[in-house]
Structure 1
Amino acid sequence: MCPDFQNDFGVTSYISFLDSLIDHPDDVKHLRKKHILRNLLGSDEEVAQLFNEIGTDLVPNNAIYRVLKSKIEDHCQTMWKKRVAKFFHEHFSRPWTILPFIGVLLGLGMTAAQTWYAANSSTPPCEALLEYLKAHRY
């Protein structure tokens, strides 16, 4: 290198940062969907393997992405976000699994509404039934 050349290790730091984000093909898929990464290699597995191999012996400048890494870590460390993400990852990995969940929520909501209306009606249900039966002479 030239004596007056100053290197802040920007490229190696960026590759090392992406390597810290990418471990599995699902990570590549997520970054592609968010338009952070473009895949011209073919498969997400190849991209994940490339970053895992290329980032092994790099000398990054850790100060460059320190703020961004701390924001990502703070986001991931929030317990309820972790639990919700884990729940959705385990139970809703396929798009069709959310439909029964919505059905259960609707059923519970309708049951709660029916219970509330039965408990807070102006006339007790038995009296209303007796009045109806008397009116129709059963």
Structure 2
Amino acid sequence: MAVDGLFIIELFRKISGHFKVYDNDPIFHSDLKSTRVVRDLVLLENQIPMSVLQTLFDLTKDPISDHFSLVQLALIFFEGASNTTISAKWTELQRSGVKFKKGSECGSLIDIKFSKGVFKIPPLLVDDCTEFFFRNLIAHEQQHSQGTHYITSYALLMDYLVNSAEDVAFLRDLGIIKNHLGDDNKVSSLFTNLCSEIYSGKFCYGDLCDKVHQYYNQPYNKWKANLKRDYCNSPWTILPVVAAILILFLTIWATLFTTLPVFNVNFKL
């Protein structure tokens, strides 16, 4: 328990940035191992009493270099480990007026764009080799802490957006996903399994997700999307809206003509 406790304290101190991480560190220079350490720490059978950790922390505390309490170090560590960049589902995005279109087939697969409320996602062919292709590239990225994790970021973004077979069918209808597996549930499970226990600290779609959140949080976009969905999706719903607007206009027009002579008389007097 003492050895495990000292390991956790050293891990927390290094993640805070106030303690040097050496080049041969087996954990901090492998994102895959870092993710597995986080997973092991949250397991119930691996929990160490806080009183033990606090005692070990107090005994090894350096008054010069230790700027955080044990609780603060733990919060810093788990905040970084659990940070996610995007959490909006298709239905939530659509309610705010976000649209999805097939991107270019000539460019890169990861060239996903968002502009003026439109997601443009290059088409992806999903067949029996797709999972092995992504797994190998993701494993390669996770073993190296340097550089941006482009394939990992792509898999994470698709996992955040694809949560069910219905989501896959939606993308398939748009031509964004070409499903050669025959079952939309298999495609949904593919992205879920790809993103299990992977490190997302080098997410390359941060700016894109910020744009999505800004668009999603604008009330005007939600109001416009609701108006189109509830009143402008068919001629039978459009006609009552047009009639209501026409009646309102005629009422205002009649009111102006009724009151205008009164204003003219008062003005002459």
Q: Considering the TM-score relative to the shorter chain, is it more than 0.5? A: yes
Unaligned regions of 5+ residues in structure 2, if any?
1-139, 141-145, 259-269
Structure 1 match to 2:41:
none
Give me the TM-score of the superposition, normalised by structure 2. 0.34
The total of aligned residue pairs comes to 115
SS of 1:60 mapped into structure 2? coil
Structure 1 match to 2:189:
49
Cα separation, 2, equivalents of 1:24 and 1:106? 38
> Does 29-38 or 60-69 show the bigger shift?
29-38
- Corresponding residue to 1:62 among 166, 190, 202: 202
Cα separation, 1, equivalents of 2:169 and 2:220? 24
Cα separation, 1, equivalents of 2:164 and 2:215? 20
Cα separation, 1, equivalents of 2:202 and 2:175? 24
Give me the TM-score of the superposition, normalised by structure 1. 0.57
Unaligned regions of 5+ residues in structure 1, if any?
122-138
Write 1 or 2 for the structure with the bigger share of helix: 1
- Corresponding residue to 2:154 among 14, 38, 43: 14
8 Å contact kept, 1:15–1:51:
yes
1:98 aligns with 2:234: yes
RMSD: 3.6
**1:106-126: CA deviation from partner (whole Å, max 9, x where unpaired):** 2113323443454438xxxxx
Identity over aligned residues, as a percent?
23
8 Å contact kept, 1:28–1:37:
yes
Cα separation, 1, equivalents of 2:158 and 2:216? 17
Write 1 or 2 for the structure with the bigger share of strand: 2
Cα separation, 1, equivalents of 2:167 and 2:228? 16
Cα separation, 1, equivalents of 2:226 and 2:178? 26
